[in-house]
Structure 1
């Protein structure tokens, strides 16, 4: 089953994101630690992320929730936390837009400060950071280590937002003199992870990792696409108020459109293999 799962996750990773680095900067300079972004949540044993935005709410990419249901567990702050319910945006279109979902936890997390939602629409030109434990490599080779082989090693990188329109943020993997000191881009295995900026000690969530486009995965010149938090903030606030009628109007209780490589027939086996399984919580 592990070999089958490995192949499946490689297929899925093409719409995910992790961190591929500059070819001319030491990998050690990209290494990150949980304290760098304490609100980072992990969905599966092999990757996919989310962000704690309220003590009992996680925001992530819609397509990353394929195995998340009531009774599932997510990992955060070296602990496991049980899922109460899932809310997938009703306008989600794979590979296009509205790739966002919310996860409600059974119990609030009391020892982690949630990230704040960025609400201004001035993201264009801003430098933001992103963090994850998925696949890696460099801009010359593209991804050479997938999310399973990476073994949970965290990295973080920076990039400059080149497009901020409607529901999307976009930035490109530049090289040499055009690149930032710790420039990076998507690899595979960390869909749903954060693009964030730290202002006066507070982490602000600007975007949610959705997909890459415009080139080979992890290669210089490829473009990364994030769901734009300032655009979705009203939707997030309406869902997290807890008004059930409004929730049913704005969201589905599960992912209706599975990522490429997954079918309803194999989904239970895949989820059994990659789901987090704490002994007790």
Structure 2
């Protein structure tokens, strides 16, 4: 494995959103299909995700956008889509709060239904789903397969909102009788992925994968933190309104601080290694 890719894996390991599963449930029970949550977007060859929330807008974690730039591509289930602009919350504090960003696509996506933004403040104790292609493992051993080695295998898992407060939703990886049938948490590799529900056939996004707060990566008892969509709904609506003056007041066009392990000098090589590029096997959006 090359040095650049090794650095990327370290970056992803201190953030979250790949799926780590129960040790007493077969891994195959967690395998997912893109149609389980069609608004899921993927940024890099080994992970990092977002959610389509309007035909030409994707919401994600701020720190996941380190290689997402105007002119680069992200993937949805129907192919590649070119990025027009990036908006990072101006109050983003790495590892602390406001870990949210929006990606404006060059052209709208008309054949995928966007997820709805969850508006209510009643998330406490709700059951949600996580989804991602990053690293995996089980609650006893933690993450044992990194996001590169997982090779794009998509999984989903359930969890319960333990705390809904201010800009955060928090989840814990329970075991035994306290665990849901497909209990799971995020590992390393898919930051920005959704905590979502399907209600009356419609997809809703409640949270955005940000980081883990305590416990070992992917082990039982670990507490994960997601940016709370209901808290940031007003910000999302203002940015997606297209008012440039408002956008300039509320967001920056790129990260002002790179995730740990990355430097400005190595970033071009990192992005060249992990960036998505239109191919003959998965055609770019027209």
How many Å separate the matches in 1 of 2:226 and 2:176?
24
Q: CA deviation at 1:3?
A: 1.5
Q: CA deviation at 1:46?
A: 1.0
- How do 1:14-25 and structure 2 match up within 5 A? 14-25=14-25
Q: In structure 2, what is the equivalent of residue 35 of structure 1?
A: 35
Q: CA deviation at 1:15?
A: 1.2
Q: CA deviation at 1:5?
A: 2.7
**Equivalent position SS for 1:82:** strand
CA contact (8 A) 1:45 1:274 kept: yes
Q: CA deviation at 1:198?
A: 1.0
- How do 1:138-217 and structure 2 match up within 5 A? 138-217=138-217
**Equivalent position SS for 2:273:** helix
How many Å separate the matches in 2 of 1:78 and 1:134?
20
Q: Deviations over 1:101-129 (max 9, x none)?
A: 00000000011000000000000010000
Q: In structure 2, what is the equivalent of residue 128 of structure 1?
A: 128
Range with bigger deviation, 183-192 or 270-279: 270-279
How many Å separate the matches in 2 of 1:52 and 1:38?
9
Q: In structure 2, what is the equivalent of residue 256 of structure 1?
A: 256
- How do 1:12-161 and structure 2 match up within 5 A? 12-13=11-12, 14-161=14-161
How many Å separate the matches in 1 of 2:184 and 2:255?
29
How many Å separate the matches in 1 of 2:84 and 2:175?
43
How many Å separate the matches in 1 of 2:258 and 2:76?
25
Q: In structure 1, what is the equivalent of residue 265 of structure 2?
A: 265
CA contact (8 A) 2:238 2:247 kept: yes
How many Å separate the matches in 1 of 2:163 and 2:115?
23
Q: In structure 1, what is the equivalent of residue 4 of structure 2?
A: 5
Structure 2: runs of 5+ lacking an equivalent: none
Q: CA deviation at 1:277?
A: 1.1
**Equivalent position SS for 1:140:** coil
Runs of 4+ in 1 over 3 A off after TM superposition: none
Q: CA deviation at 1:16?
A: 2.3
- How do 1:208-247 and structure 2 match up within 5 A? 208-247=208-247
CA RMSD of aligned residues (A): 0.9
- With the length of structure 1 as denominator, give the TM-score of the two structures: 0.98
**Equivalent position SS for 2:205:** strand
The count of aligned residue pairs is 280
How many Å separate the matches in 2 of 1:38 and 1:46?
18
Q: CA deviation at 1:213?
A: 1.6
Q: CA deviation at 1:211?
A: 0.5
CA contact (8 A) 2:4 2:269 kept: no
Q: CA deviation at 1:9?
A: 2.0
**Equivalent position SS for 2:226:** strand
How many Å separate the matches in 1 of 2:273 and 2:17?
21
Q: CA deviation at 1:10?
A: 2.2
- With the length of structure 2 as denominator, give the TM-score of the two structures: 0.96
Q: CA deviation at 1:177?
A: 0.7
How many Å separate the matches in 1 of 2:277 and 2:171?
35
Structure 1: runs of 5+ lacking an equivalent: none
**Equivalent position SS for 1:20:** strand
CA contact (8 A) 2:127 2:160 kept: yes
